[in-house]
Structure 1
Amino acid sequence: MWWWREVVGLVVAGECGGCGRGRVVLCEGCRAVLRGGGAGRVRPGVAGVPPVWAAAGYRDVVRAVLLAHKERGALALAGPLGAALAGAVGAAAEGRGVVLVPVPSARRAVRARGHDATRRIARAAAAELRRTGTAARVAAVLRQRRPVADQAGLSSTRRRANLAGALEVVPGGVRLLTAGRIVLVDDLLTTGATLAEAARAVRTSFTGAQVYGTAAGEAREERPTAGVSGPGVPPLRAAVVAAPSDSFATNRN
């Protein structure tokens, strides 16, 4: 059983999730690193990804915090991770109310970890945004429609092939996406393949068409499904806690 981690995480402060010093969830120095000096626009390595912002570069402290939360059950880190994600969402939303759409984890990964890390961070980010005056809600409308292989170690091309057509919006999910600017959220951007597939699934849910990325990274629609109609695709944005440092439009040290 994994539930004990939830209880312990609420009542016991362990080592700092970033540097390991002190009996604190996350020390002030590591919180500052996680915030990264403000969200920045990043360049994904694949086509079809909406404009995406990240809070910090994926290295050292940031990497340690993300892994501690996702893989080691340090659930109390969802708060500071959510605050960092909220900064990236705010930059992506451009002052508008938002609907945060978390990228779903594989069911087997959720069972193994005992929690859905991205959904937990998304909820913390929405709470932080509301606290600072931005209307925000989480719409966990994406689900996996088929199993996918573990992405670790796969090239960009193999990640795209692994994920192609893997996600869909649940029935009735489109209705939940109309309350604000749609921002796809994840904890980490590696190549962008996961966000590209999430964007395809959301676009398809609005049009009933298969939507593909062009070489320029813009969306184009093909093969509309007979008898399906609906509103046009709203502009999508994406936000993540961290991305490779060399992917930022203005490189960060």
Structure 2
Amino acid sequence: MRGWWREIADLVLPVECAGCGRTRSALCAKCLARLRDMEEIRRVRPSPEPPGLPAVYAAGAYEDEVRAVLLAHKERGALRLAEPLGAALAAGVRAGMRAAGHGGGRQDGPVLLVPVPSARSATAARGHDPARRMALCAARQLRREGIPARVLAVLRQRRAVADQAGLSATQRVENLSGALSAAAGSGRLLGKGTTVVVDDVMTTGASLVEAARAVTTAGGTVAAAAVVAASPRDC
């Protein structure tokens, strides 16, 4: 219910642009163009690169307007931003597919987007799961382009983890190790397409490593990972 009220408020209440702060627009034309022009899709590598990290493709750097828009969607519930963010995520997914040898046609089979889940407490506090919402928008964008894509939100938090803030890259990997599992029976679904793990932002890569491990343990194969943005030092 909270999500629906936020969407209605986005439509009728005066707001500031999530990117630059301009009033009366959830996302002004300039910042929308900034998101749509995130064409420098590239493979990104954190330093140090954790073992088990799949090839990660990002639509841009986590800074300036892009950072502001992602935070507005994630932390302030600006749900209308999911659509442009999902389009940027779709660009990263396409790059990962191409690198993995998936041509994008139906003959290559479906593309399965597996979002990294938020902790239950975070989802409850925010009223939505940001990565899942963006993944759904990305899948719709890919289908509009003729690429058979669907979201498999099969990962679950199996144990509580410590707050990642202040932890080193190595500590983050240790903190998240074994924290995720795939829903029972999901291995059969994961085996029927090309799996791309998706998230909003990559910093150390620890969350993507753990998500890829959980997918592989369930019987799937991760072809790549995609994010909207990566830490500027990794781009």
TM-score, scaled relative to structure 2: 0.89
Q: In structure 2, how many angstroms separate the alpha carbons of the residues matched to 1:136 and 1:147?
A: 31
Q: Deviations over 1:97-135 (max 9, x none)?
A: 410000010000000001101100000111111111111
Q: Contact 1:184–1:239 (CA<8 Å) still a contact in 2?
A: yes
User: d(CA) in 2 for partners of 1:93 and 1:18?
Assistant: 29
Residue identity opposite 1:238 in structure 2: A
Distance 2:11 2:141 in 1: 18
The answer to whether the 8 A contact 1:18-1:61 is kept is yes
1:11 is displaced (CA, Å) by 4.3
1:37 aligns with 2:39: yes
Q: CA, structure 1 residues 8+179, in 2 after alignment: closer, same or farther (shift >3 Å)?
A: farther
| Cα displacement (A) at 1:10 | 4.3
Say which SS state the counterpart of residue 185 (structure 1) adopts.
strand
Residue number in structure 2 paired with 1:8: 9
Distance 2:221 2:2 in 1: 39
Letter of the aligned partner of 1:203 in structure 2? Answer: T
Deviation per CA, 1:77-97, whole angstroms, max 9, x where unpaired?
A: 001100100110111112334
Q: Relative to structure 1, is the Cα distance of residues 114 and 89 closer, same or farther in structure 2, using a 3 angstrom cutoff?
A: same
Matching residue of 2:107 = none
- From 182, 201, 208, give the equivalent of 2:195: 182
AA partner of residue 234 (structure 1): T
SS of structure 2 residue aligned to 1:129: helix
Work out which of the residue numbers 236, 243, 250 in structure 1 matches 2:223: 236
State the secondary structure of the residue aligned to 1:90.
helix
Equivalent residue letter for 1:199 = A
User: What is the TM-score with the length of structure 1 in the denominator?
Assistant: 0.83
Gaps of 5+ in 2: 105-109
Q: What is the Cα deviation at residue 26 of structure 1?
A: 1.7
- 8 Å CA contact 1:42, 1:53 repeated in 2: yes
- Residue 30 of structure 1, CA deviation: 1.4
Is 1:141 the counterpart of 2:141? The answer is no
8 Å CA contact retained: 1:102, 1:122: yes
1:153 is displaced (CA, Å) by: 2.1
Q: Any idea what SS the aligned residue of 2:52 has?
A: coil
Residues 41-64 of structure 1: per-residue CA shift (max 9 Å, x gap): 101332211011000101011110
Q: 1:126-154 CA deviation, whole Å, 9 max, x = no partner?
A: 11111111111000010011111121221
Q: Which residue of 2 aligns with 1:215?
A: none
Letter in 2 for 1:165: G
Q: Percent identity?
A: 59
Letter in 1 for 2:229: A
Q: Which amino acid aligns with 1:71?
A: E
One-letter amino acid of the structure 2 residue matched with residue 2 of structure 1: R
- What is the CA distance between 1:12 and its match in structure 2? 4.3
What letter is aligned with 1:119? R
- 3-state secondary structure, aligned to 1:186: strand
Letter in 2 for 1:80: P
* Larger Rg computed on CA atoms: 1
Q: Which residue of 2 aligns with 1:82?
A: 86
Whole-angstrom CA distance in 2 between matches of 1:129 and 1:60:
26
Task: Provide Cα deviations, 1:1-56, integer angstroms capped at 9, x if missing partner.
Answer: 73421321244462211111142222232123334233111013322110110001
Q: Indicate the RMSD between aligned Cα atoms, in angstroms.
A: 1.6
1:194-218 deviations in Å (ceiling 9; x for gaps): 0001111111111xxxxxxxxxxxx
Q: Which residue of structure 2 aligns with residue 225 of structure 1?
A: none
| 2:51 aligned residue (47, 52, 68) | 47
Secondary structure at 1:188's aligned position in 2? Answer: strand
User: Aligned to 2:161, what secondary structure does the other structure show?
Assistant: coil
In the alignment, structure 1 residue 28 sits paired with structure 2 residue 29: yes
Distance (whole Å) between structure 1 residues aligned to residue 24 and residue 138 of structure 2: 24
Q: 1:166 to 1:235 in 2, by over 3 A?
A: closer
Unaligned runs of 5+ in 1: 207-232, 249-253
